[in-house]
């Protein structure tokens, strides 16, 4: 059955934030927690900085300190909205034409804390404008992620010790 394949960019049961204000989302975010995957393995002090490109896409500048190699890693990519830019459902690429889902599924009113789902239950991030998060928001995000089907006990809590 060729042609019957999934091109989903958000896990079943997850909903992207709407209305979403991309201007308020731009800037620097600290990664507080993530599910481990090969491109971020051994990284601490991880940050993501988002800015607008001239063509309307969003520049993604990810940095982290590789504790195994003892040096900083950086990956620069781009993100595009899948539909309307008032729905926090995007696709991001660091490798040419290959894109993956990036979905803000929870954010506070002041755009200080965000819960981001990838295209499947293998990808999840908790982001903050600071290196900490209030316990009540952390609990709220972990509960939401668990309800969607994420195994939140597998989250890696990132150290931010200003290397």
DSSP bridge pairs for 123: none
Q: Do 86 and 104 touch, CB atoms closer than 8 A? A: no
Element (H, E) at 146: helix 135-148
Residues sharing a CB contact under 8 Å with residue 12, sequence separation 6 or more, in sequence order: 149
Taking alpha carbons only, the member of 89, 95, 93, 75 closest to residue 31 is 75
pTM of the model: 0.92
Domains within the chain, CATH numbers bracketed: 22-149 (2.40.128.20)
pLDDT tens for each residue of 38-93: 889 999 999 999 999 999 899 999 999 999 999 999 999 999 999 999 999 999 99
Q: Is 22 helix (H, G, I), strand (E, B) or coil?
A: helix
Q: Do 113 and 97 touch, CB atoms closer than 8 A? A: no
Measure the CA–CA gap between 28 and 51, rounded to whole angstroms: 9
pLDDT of residue 2: 35
Measure the CA–CA gap between 94 and 144, rounded to whole angstroms: 28
Q: How far is CA 71 from CA 82, 122, 126, in A?
A: 34, 26, 23
pLDDT tens for each residue of 93-125: 998 788 899 999 999 999 999 999 999 999 999
pLDDT tens for each residue of 13-35: 999 999 999 999 999 999 999 99
Residues sharing a CB contact under 8 Å with residue 38, sequence separation 6 or more, in sequence order: none
pLDDT of residue 95: 83
Place 162 in a pLDDT band, splitting at 50, 70 and 90.
low
């Amino acid at each position: 059955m060729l042609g019957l394949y999934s091109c989903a960019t958000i896990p079943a049961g997850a909903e992207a934030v709407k209305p979403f204000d991309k201007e308020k989302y731009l800037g620097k975010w600290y990664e507080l927690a993530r599910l481990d995957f090969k491109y971020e393995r051994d990284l601490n002090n991880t940050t993501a900085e988002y800015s607008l490109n001239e063509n309307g896409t969003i520049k993604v500048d990810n940095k982290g300190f590789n504790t195994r190699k003892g040096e900083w890693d950086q990956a620069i990519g781009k993100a595009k909205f899948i539909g309307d830019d008032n729905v926090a459902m995007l696709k991001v690429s660091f490798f040419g034409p290959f894109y993956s889902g990036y979905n803000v599924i929870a954010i506070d009113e002041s755009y200080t804390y965000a819960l981001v789902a990838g295209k499947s239950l293998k990808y999840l991030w908790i982001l903050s404008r600071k290196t900490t998060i209030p316990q009540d928001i952390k609990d709220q995000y972990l509960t939401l992620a668990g309800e969607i089907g994420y195994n939140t006990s597998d989250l890696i809590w990132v150290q931010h010790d200003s290397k």
